[in-house]
Amino acid sequence: MKITRMHGAGGKVMQELIKDVILKNLEITSVNGGIGLESLDDSATIPLGDKEIVFTVDGHTVKPIFFPGGDIGRLAVSGTVNDLAVMGAKPLALSLSLIIPEGFKLEDLERIIKSINETSKEAEVAIITGDTKVSDGVDDIIISTSGIGIVDRGKAIRDCNVQEGDAIIVSGNIGEHGLSILLSREGFDFDVNIKSDVAPINKLIEKVLEEGIQINAMKDPTRGGLADALNEMAEKSNIGITIFEDKIPISDEVQSICDILGLDPLTIANEGKVVMAVKKEDAERCLEILREHPLGKNAEIIGYATKEHKGVIMETIVGRRIVDMPIGDPIPRVC
């Protein structure tokens, strides 16, 4: 069997690849009893004294490298910062590894680095080490960033700890990054205002934590979109999640384009959003705090966790729909 595009699309096929090929063949996968590779959480942790070092890595390729709302540089910083932030950690520093194809334009590189700089300032995270390679074996630039952060010992927020009754909150409009990339890649030049939401959200999350909100679980809904993130949280927490279609924040533009293309916005990637499972009593206050921040102004409570069912179920005006773990491209099923 060969690796296909589906293996990289997030969702079920990719999960199987990770479990059956990667995890199965690695033996030492955690340190000092910290969160290790096998939990497939957003980051890993290394307990040290009364703190834990939080550590993650992310490789970025995107077509096109400049897109409405951002570029690969901003994406490379945000992706890694966010993976640290959704662990409840304070991101400290990043590494930066560049693999640049032969013939790549110098001014494009400079533009990307400047964007990396801007984003790192916005997130207040330093770039402290790096590596640069030029290769004739890649089609386009690949940027990998590792990040370290810090969290009080035992205080890391997992994606597997959703509790019964928790409110499920999403920090803003969904589907914008993935749709914007798709449209700009295909040269879509109609009059619609769809921009990637790519942004570092560590400041937003820190604000919520500083106010003492009890977040039981947290995840950034990137590849596979909200559907993937919720399914993973539900499955790992061994609980069900019910969401309400009319509560899911989504812009009219994204909704109307999805309606025409037949795409499900729940399965489209985001790069500047967070999904939280918040203790019921704290939910309203959490929402207020989120909404005060520009990156959280469209935040909504979209549902709750329940033991009445497994998986993710969405209440719609035409009944309850089971929200699948996406598998890459949608496959027709209606007769």
Which residues of this chain interact with other proteins, rule CB under 8 A? 12, 182, 186-188, 190, 257, 260-263, 309, 313, 318-322, 324, 327, 329-335
Q: Which of the listed partners (other proteins, Mg ion, none) does 83 bind, with a CB threshold of 5 to 8 Å by partner kind?
A: Mg ion
Pick the closer one to other proteins by CB: 200 or 225. Answer: 225
Residue tagged 């090929």 (tokens): 21
Pick the closer one to other proteins by CB: 89 or 227. Answer: 227
Task: Please state the closest distance from residue 67 (CB atom) to other proteins, in A.
Answer: 16
Task: Please state the closest distance from residue 299 (CB atom) to other proteins, in A.
Answer: 26
Pick the closer one to other proteins by CB: 137 or 319. Answer: 319
Distances (CA, A) of 233 to 129, 147, 160, 162: 33, 23, 6, 7
Applying CB under 5 A, which of residues 42, 166, 197, 324 lies at the interface with Mg ion? 42
Task: Please state the closest distance from residue 281 (CB atom) to Mg ion, in A.
Answer: 28
Q: Which of the listed partners (Mg ion, other proteins, none) does 128 bind, with a CB threshold of 5 to 8 Å by partner kind?
A: none
Task: Please state the closest distance from residue 119 (CB atom) to Mg ion, in A.
Answer: 17
In the three-class reduction of DSSP (H, G, I as helix; E, B as strand; rest coil), residue 23 is classed as: helix
159 sits near Mg ion (criterion: CB under 5 A): no
Closest CA to 78 of 217, 178, 220, 214: 220
Q: Which of the listed partners (Mg ion, other proteins, none) does 212 bind, with a CB threshold of 5 to 8 Å by partner kind?
A: none
Closest CA to 267 of 285, 248, 295: 248
Please identify, among the stretches 27-35, 76-84, 104-112, 146-154, the one whose residues bind Mg ion according to the rule CB under 5 A: 76-84
Q: Is 274 left (phi over 0), alpha (psi -120 to 50) or beta?
A: beta
* Residues 199, 216: Cα–Cα separation, whole Å: 23
Task: Please state the closest distance from residue 268 (CB atom) to other proteins, in A.
Answer: 11
Pick the closer one to Mg ion by CB: 71 or 83. Answer: 83
* Residues 127, 120: Cα–Cα separation, whole Å: 7
Task: Please state the closest distance from residue 177 (CB atom) to other proteins, in A.
Answer: 16
Q: Which of the listed partners (other proteins, Mg ion, none) does 105 bind, with a CB threshold of 5 to 8 Å by partner kind?
A: none
What is the DSSP code string of 190-217?
SS----------HHHHHHHHHTT--EEE
Pick the closer one to other proteins by CB: 214 or 255. Answer: 255
Q: Which of the listed partners (Mg ion, other proteins, none) does 232 bind, with a CB threshold of 5 to 8 Å by partner kind?
A: none
* Residues 223, 27: Cα–Cα separation, whole Å: 27
Pick the closer one to Mg ion by CB: 100 or 325. Answer: 325
Residue 291 · residue 237 · CB < 8 Å = no
Alpha helices in 93-224 (DSSP H): 106-123, 176-185, 202-210
Residue 119 burial (CB count, 10 A): 24
Tokens for 299? 């935040």
E strand or H helix at 13: helix 11-17
Applying CB under 5 A, which of residues 41, 52, 71, 83 lies at the interface with Mg ion? 83
Q: Which of the listed partners (other proteins, Mg ion, none) does 244 bind, with a CB threshold of 5 to 8 Å by partner kind?
A: none
Residue 176 · residue 195 · CB < 8 Å = yes
* Residues 333, 330: Cα–Cα separation, whole Å: 9
Pick the closer one to other proteins by CB: 110 or 329. Answer: 329
Pick the closer one to other proteins by CB: 284 or 329. Answer: 329
Pick the closer one to Mg ion by CB: 83 or 176. Answer: 83
Task: Please state the closest distance from residue 46 (CB atom) to other proteins, in A.
Answer: 34
Beta bridge partners of residue 152, listed in sequence order: 51
E strand or H helix at 77: helix 72-85
Give me the residues that bind Mg ion (CB under 5 A), please: 42, 83
